[in-house]
Amino acid sequence: MTVQNFLLMTGNMLPRKVVYKDALNSVIYYADAKHWTALTDPFWRVMKWTLDADGDIVDIVETDWYNNLATDLSVVQSLSYS
């Protein structure tokens, strides 16, 4: 079993990460992928964290799988979350 398969099976995040903040809407987009994945590669999973007025997380939704781009804020905002 590879480390990546273990992380996927346990629900842990993969090692490459990028964070985009949408301060206007109080949302943080947190993306993860395997090592050496470029932002322009469609191998990212993105979580959308909605914050309340105190900055606490009130909702977390994510993309279905590691098949998304994470190039910039506008790209992750346009993804489908469930």
pLDDT per residue as tens digits for the range 24-40: 999 999 999 998 999 99
Residue 42 lies in a domain: yes
Residue 82 in any domain: the answer is no
Q: Would residue 57 count as lying in a domain?
A: yes
State which residues form the domain around 11. 3-77
- In angstroms, the CA 65 to CA 35 distance is 16
For 4, the 3-state DSSP assignment is: helix
Structural domains of the chain, count: 1
Model confidence, pTM: 0.85
Q: Residue 11: its pLDDT value, please?
A: 65
Low-confidence ranges of the chain (pLDDT < 50): none
Look at residue 70 and tell me if it is in a domain. Answer: yes
Residue 17: inside a domain, yes or no? yes
In a domain, 11, yes or no: yes
